[in-house]
Amino acid sequence: MRIWFASSTVIILIILLALTVNHAREKDMVELFSRQQLAYAQSTAARMADTFTQVEKNVELLSRFESQEKVLSKKNYNDFKIIYSGWEDTVDFVVLLDKEGKMKRILPQGVFPVVNITEHFQSLKQKRKQYLKLALAQKTQKDAIKQKKDWHLIFGYPLWRQENIFSGAWIVSLSLAAMIEKYEKQTKDNGLGDLWLVDEEGNFIIHPDTVFIGKSINTLIRNVNGSEVDFSSAQGNYLDSLVWKSAKKEQRNIIAYYPLKFGEKKLFILVASQYSNVILPVRKTFAYTLFSAILLILVVVVAGISFAFREGKRLRMKEEQKRLKEREGWKEKLLREKKTIDGIIEGSPIPTFVINKQHEVILWNRACMELTGYSAEDMVGTDKHYIPFYSVKRPVIADLIIDNDIESLNQYYGTKKVKKSGKVLGAYEATDYFENLGGRSRYLYFLAAPIYDEKGEIIAAIETLQDVSRDEELSKSLREYAETLQNELTENIELRREIEELYNYLQSIVKSLPDKIYEMDESGIINYMSRGLKKDGRSSSREFKGVHFLEFVAPEHRDLVLSRWEEAKKGIYKPYEMDATTKDGRKLNLLVTTSPVVGTNHYIVVQRDITEFKNLEKKLYESEKLAALGQLSAGIAHEVRNPLSSIKMSLQILEKRINPAGNDLKRFKIAEKEVEHLETLVNNVLVFAKPIDPKKTSADLAKVLDHAIAMAEKGIADKKIVLQTEYGIVHSITIDAAMMGDAFLNIIRNAIEAVEEQGNILVSLNYSDDTQQSIIVQITDNGCGIDDVDMPHIFNPFFTLKKYGTGLGLSQVKKIIDLHQGTIDVISKKNEGTTVRIILPVK
């Protein structure tokens, strides 16, 4: 009796335990199935989005053909089909419309549009940009019989001609039902249930049951707890829901959803399966297991009863239990080792993940989670290990190692410097840059290696990740720092060159100054001198450095210079003059100026040679005296002119009345000659003193010279002088012809007076150089010439060597030439003749 009671108790406990375990397994099964549904919904959404994107690109490609015949002609019809190959099964039609919305061609030929093209064309024409919209098919009699609603996806692309003129549009219609049909089949084949499509308002678009199409999802589906379903998650989700069926019955379903975005629209992909179908394998397993457990219990009970009666069987059972215990020990040891290895990897600071031969993640450690932001719960059991690194599904190095597809490494990592690892056998490594990994940009170093079983076959692959962003940033910073140093070095070299150029430039300026500049400290020691004298007579300033300035001052001037130096140190900076004598005996007048160097206790002393200024000052004083003398002479001449006229007239009247002869006549002639000489002198004085205002007109210099020569014809003839002219081709210039004629006549008369009988005079006229900016007139004679002592004074008023000259002729000539902005030079040598050179500007 006790055995049966104990057996019943054990059976009941086992059943309760089995029910508890079964409930947990059902829950785990639902969780795993829901994740599979969500992964499939996400994959389906991604593939459909890729399809929409490809369709949009192909529509854009259609719009770029220059000639519609190139696309729509029968000859190129097959080429046109290639453009939308891959999605032609879902194409309802492709239509080309003109700018008025009239249909020009439709493909496939003979197809009737199932949607209202005019409505979509008007919207596209109004927006003038790419068009994308969902639309229902127009109801026909045939459709009305079936009561079937079919959604279509409309793509439109405007056509433009020159000057941005709208000329039509391409419109493509895709059947959503046809497009999603293959995904529905895949969903059912994978045992994941049915595939639904819901728009962003929550209305069904695609559903196996046509009654649901067009109805709101919230009116037909609710959560198990009674709340409304929520599709707000951008990453999708799964939920346990109740779905209304006919006769007001509800059916429990497992539903996973994922948003599908295209253009400005958003749809939801739903994968739904009945709850009973999801847990059916678990329940079957539970039933089989429970049945087997009951049978086992019965067997154990029977065996126990038999063992109670048979000692031998007890011993065998004890041995069996010992063997099972050893097996459990080995199992626990293996589990501990596995946990140890997993713990090592999990606790490793190096981000690591492991994938099996099915490319599913079997280990995703904490460091990898911290690096990528994805937890192990999100990754383990899935093939989504690419998501943290890439936006589209693609293999990582571990995937290629699992598939033994090493050749594809260059395809995916060609630019990342992928290479075989020199440390780990069969491993490969690479470095890549990620714009957004774990919330920031990073440089990662990958190392992936295969994991072999006891047979040497690859059963898994491990990949480690190392964040080398700091190293890359450090290398980049070092490169930038090196570039900065190089730039600074270049700038410093350029700055030094500019400073040297500026120093040389300032040195050139200082050296070119006629002044001698000293830089001295407050003790009077010379630190710098702009110009000095070497022993061979050349300039040098080094030998004067460090010498007191008084060593270069003559003893008779030292007291004066020292007193002025002391005044300068007290802030009294007054220039002073002093006389000096050079080594060659020349007398110099020097102006000395002292000024402080700002911010220092040094001084600048400038020594200027003002000898020439003193001479000019004397000349100015002399010229002022001559001007005063000229004015005085003019006043006297004016007063003398009238008495001279009376004397001349009286002499002429007396000569006619007396008719003198002999010595009396001779005295009359001498008196008349002296009166004429005085009259000429008075006229010259008046002309010299009188202000001259030239009246310039265009004149031919050759004619002016000829006129002056004609005026001097008598003197030329009296001395039988040979006068030659050499005139070049010279254009007319603007001058006062009368003044210039007087100047030329004065010079020619001087030449006539200077030559002996049968002497030679040459008058030439030409441009001074090839630029033709000035004209040169030269009058050359072979007369007595001018002494070197007299040359500096020839243009001075009242300077003359003639017995009866006034000394105003060349002064008057110089004055006329100056008024015409010209120059006059006299080249002469005693007893060798004279050349007068006059240069006049053309403008």
Q: How far apart are CA 54 and CA 183, in angstroms?
A: 17
Question: What tokens appear for 59 in the block?
Answer: 């529509």
Assign 535 a pLDDT band (cuts: 50, 70, 90).
very low
Whose tokens are 């995916």? That residue is 412
Judge whether 826 and 834 are in contact, CB under 8 Å.
yes
Which structure tokens are listed for 40? 């499939």
Query: What is the predicted pLDDT for the residue at 63?
Result: 67
* Residue 13, Cβ density class (10 Å: 0-12 exposed, 13-18 middle, ≥19 buried): exposed
Please give the Cα distance from 809 to 753 (Å, whole number).
Answer: 13
pLDDT at 748: 92
* pTM for the full predicted model: 0.35
Given the structure tokens 């003044």, which residue do they identify? 739
Q: Which amino acid is at 510?
A: V
Extract long-range pairs of 627-634: CB within 8 Å, 24+ residues apart. 629/797, 629/798, 630/685, 630/688, 630/689, 630/797, 631/689, 633/685, 633/689, 634/685, 634/686, 634/688, 634/689, 634/690
Looking at residue 403, the DSSP 8-state letter turns out to be T
Rounded to 5°, angle at Cα 672 from 668 and 673:
115
Q: Which residues sit opposite 580 in a β-bridge?
A: 588
Cα(426)–Cα(424) distance, integer angstroms? 6
Q: What are phi and psi of 294, to 5 degrees?
A: -65, -45
d(CA 749, CA 734): 25
Residue 295 has which token pair?
């049978």
Is 4 a residue whose pLDDT tops 70? no
pLDDT of residue 141: 44
Q: What is the pLDDT of residue 70?
A: 44
Give the C-alpha separation, 178 to 172, whole Å: 14
- How far apart, in whole angstroms, are the C-alpha atoms of residue 280 and residue 273? 12
Class of domain 692-841: alpha beta
* Tokens matching residue 45: 């959404």
Kindly report the CATH number that applies to the domain delimited by 17-52+186-279: 3.30.450.20
Task: Single out the residue of 200, 191, 171 nearest to residue 55, CA to CA.
Answer: 171
SS3 481: helix
The residue written with tokens 């059943």 in the block is: 15
Return the bridge partners of 760, or none. 722
The CA distances from residue 477 to 270, 432, 464, 482, 483, in Å, are 50, 19, 26, 8, 10
Indicate the DSSP class of residue 203. B
Q: Which amino acid is at 518?
A: Y
> CA nearest 160: which of 130, 117, 120?
130
Peptide bond just before 108 cis, omega within 30 deg: yes
537 has a pLDDT exceeding 50: no
Region 608-637: what's the mean pLDDT? Answer: 71
Q: Is the pLDDT of residue 158 over 80?
A: yes
Query: What average pLDDT does the segment 271-278 reach?
Result: 82
- Mean pLDDT on 60-76: 54
pLDDT reported for residue 142:
43
Q: List 267's β-bridge partners, or say none.
A: 260
Is the C-alpha dihedral spanning 109, 115, 120, 122 positive or negative? positive
The answer to whether the beta carbons of residues 302 and 313 sit under 8 Å apart is no
Does residue 555 have a pLDDT over 70?
Answer: yes
How much is the mean pLDDT over the chain?
Answer: 80
Q: Which residue has the tokens 């391409």?
A: 170
Residue 213: per-residue pLDDT: 78
pLDDT of 419 reads 83
- Given a cut of 60, whether residue 100 has pLDDT beyond it is yes
Please give the single-letter amino acid code of residue 408: S
- Tell me what pLDDT residue 154 has: 84
**Token reading at 323:** 């063997």
pLDDT on residue 700: 92
Strand partners, 256: 238, 271
Where in the chain are the domains? 17-52+186-279, 64-177, 280-338, 348-467, 513-609, 615-685, 692-841
Between 190 and 729, the more confident residue is 729
Could you tell me which CATH number the domain at 64-177 has?
Answer: 3.30.450.20
Alpha carbons 560 and 263: distance in angstroms, whole number? 100
Check residue 36 and give its pLDDT.
84
Least confident of 171-185, 269-283, 349-363, 798-812: 798-812
End-to-end CA distance of the chain: 151
Per-residue buried b or exposed e for 425-464, using 16+ beta carbons within 10 Å of the residue's own CB: eebbbbbbebeebbeeebbbebbbbbbeeeeeeeebbbbb
Q: What is the DSSP letter of 5?
A: H
φ, ψ at 404 (rounded to 5°): 55, 35
Residue 19: pLDDT above 90? no
Tell me the three state secondary structure of residue 636: helix
Asked whether the beta carbons of 285 and 21 are under 8 A apart, the reply is no
| pLDDT exceeds 80 at position 398 | yes
Q: Is the domain defined by 348-467 classed in CATH 3.30.450.20? A: yes
CB atoms within 10 A of CB 806: 22
DSSP 622: H
The dihedral through the CA atoms of 307, 313, 315, 316 has a sign that is: negative
Strand partners, 502: none
Alpha-carbon distance values, 144 to 138, 140, 147, 148, 438 (Å): 10, 6, 5, 7, 54
- For residue range 124-154, what is the model confidence (pLDDT) as tens digits? 888 877 777 777 777 644 444 333 456 788 8
Do the beta carbons of residue 447 and residue 421 sit within 8 Å? yes
CA distance 230 to 235: 13
Look at domain 513-609 and name its CATH class: alpha beta
Contact 193, 183 (CB under 8 A): no
* Average pLDDT of the segment spanning 447-476: 86
**pLDDT for 99:** 83
Q: Which residues pair with 204 in a beta bridge?
A: 198
What contacts 58, CB < 8 A, 6 or more positions away?
Answer: 83, 84
What is the pLDDT averaged over residues 529-554?
A: 66
d(CA 493, CA 90): 71
Amino acid (one-letter) located at 46: A
Predicted local confidence at residue 536, as pLDDT: 45
The conformation of residue 40, written as its DSSP 8-state character, comes to H
Quickly list H helices, 229-365. Answer: 275-309, 311-347
According to the model, what pLDDT value does residue 354 have? 92
pLDDT in tens, 745-796: 889 988 998 899 889 999 999 998 888 889 999 999 999 888 888 887 777 7
Residue 89 has pLDDT above 60, yes or no: yes
pLDDT tens, residue by residue, 302-353? 776 666 666 666 777 788 888 888 888 877 877 777 777 777 777 788 899 9
Phi, psi of 630 (to 5 degrees): -65, -45
Lowest mean pLDDT among 132-141, 532-541, 561-570: 532-541
- Per-residue model confidence as pLDDT tens digits over 642-688: 787 788 788 788 878 888 888 888 888 888 777 777 777 776 666 66
Q: What is the pLDDT of residues 689-700, one digit of tens each?
A: 565 678 889 999
Q: Of 340, 337, 366, 336, which is closest to residue 352 (Cα–Cα)? A: 366
Weakest mean pLDDT among 80-84, 341-345, 427-431, 796-800:
80-84
**712-732 per-position pLDDT tens digit:** 898 899 889 999 999 998 889
Question: ∠ CA(158), CA(160), CA(162), 5° rounding?
Answer: 175
> What DSSP designation does 196 have?
E
- Counting residues of the chain whose pLDDT is more than 70, the rounded percentage is 85
In whole angstroms, what is the distance from residue 528 CA to residue 521 CA? 10
Query: Fold identical between 17-52+186-279 and 692-841?
Result: no
Percent of the chain whose predicted confidence (pLDDT) is above 90: 9
Higher pLDDT, residue 674 or 75: 674
Phi, psi of 124 (to 5 degrees): -65, -45
Q: Which residues contact 487 (CB under 8 A, 6 or more apart)?
A: none
Lowest-pLDDT range, 199-213, 373-387, 567-581, 766-780?
199-213
Instruction: Report the half-sphere exposure of 366 (CA within 13 A, side-chain side).
Output: 8
What is the per-residue pLDDT for 688? 62
Q: What is the pLDDT of residues 428-442, one digit of tens each?
A: 888 888 888 877 888
Q: What are phi and psi of 831, to 5 degrees?
A: 65, 15
